[in-house]
Amino acid sequence: PEEKTFALIKPDAAKTHKGKAVFTDVNISTKDLQRTLQVKQAGFSISKVKEQALTREMAAQFYKDHEGKPFFEDLVNCMTAGPSVVMVLSKENAVEEWRQLMGPTDPEEAKKVSPESIRAQFAHDILSNAVHGSSNPEHAMKSIAFAFGELDAYWFPQGP
Ligand code: CMP
């Protein structure tokens, strides 16, 4: 059965890698988007995608499980440094497979254990680590509702 996960391209990567092969400009056509995203090559369908600049309140809410940790302020700063790209990705076992494709949180570890992963290739450091993905299906549903509560998302019901 198909599963959905929530994926986010963080401001550091959304800015640096816009237009490149892995992450792309969401303002281009549907067909180009589908063709150029690495997630498509890995068999994910992009069910929804939009560019979204998070406010400090949104970032703090989104990462409230990390409140109180030493890196929390830096995390909120990093997540509000520019627009993110938020997506709903669909495929069988999507939550786990997107996490595999992202690689470990720390890019130094990612380079060792998963050199093909997105973080190994594109993350700057453990904080500005290019992408986010839900850790379980329940978080995924919450994050999808959080990011796509409105109707301004692009919709790709069947792919290209
Ligand atoms: P993410 O997968 O989005 O979930 C929580 C984020 O907190 C994580 O990616 C990193 O951006 C950040 N983070 C986690 N651990 C650390 C750490 N030890 N130092 C700095 N940032 C961290």
Q: Quote ipTM for the complex.
A: 0.97
Backbone angles phi, psi at 100, to 5 degrees: -60, -45
Q: Does 79 map to a domain?
A: yes
DSSP letter at 65? G
Can you tell me which atom of ligand 1 is nearest the CA of 128? 11
Annotated binding-site members for ATP: 10, 71, 99, 105, 119, 129
Surface-to-core class of residue 81, CB atoms within 10 Å of its CB (0-12 exposed, 13-18 middle, 19+ buried) = middle
Tens-binned pLDDT, residue by residue, of the chain (160 aa):
899 999 998 988 877 655 344 454 434 344 444 444 566 667 888 888 888 899 999 999 999 999 999 999 999 999 999 988 888 999 999 999 999 999 999 999 999 999 988 888 888 999 999 899 999 999 999 999 999 985 444 444 444 3
CA separation for the pair 52, 86 (Å, rounded) = 7
Q: Does 26 map to a domain?
A: no
CA separation for the pair 130, 79 (Å, rounded) = 10
| Cα dihedral 72, 144, 147, 49 sign | positive
Q: Does 62 map to a domain?
A: yes
- Domain range for 67: 2-16+47-152
Q: Does 32 map to a domain?
A: no
Query: Which residue's CA is minimally distant from atom 3 of ligand 1?
Result: 132
Query: Which residue's CA is minimally distant from atom 21 of ligand 1?
Result: 127
Annotated catalytic residue: which of 17, 66, 124, 132? 132
Amino acid (1-letter code) at residue 66: H
Q: Annotated catalytic, 139? A: no
What separation in Å is there between the alpha carbon of 19 and the centre of ligand 1?
A: 25
Q: Does 36 map to a domain?
A: no
Q: Does 23 map to a domain?
A: no
Asked whether 99 lines ligand 1 (CB < 6 A), one says: no
pLDDT digits (tens, 9 = 90+) for 28-41: 344 444 444 566 66
CATH code, domain with 71: 3.30.70.141
Number of domains present in the structure of the chain: 1
Q: Does 90 map to a domain?
A: yes
Asked whether 75 lines ligand 1 (CB < 6 A), one says: yes
Lookup: tokens for 73: 């302020």
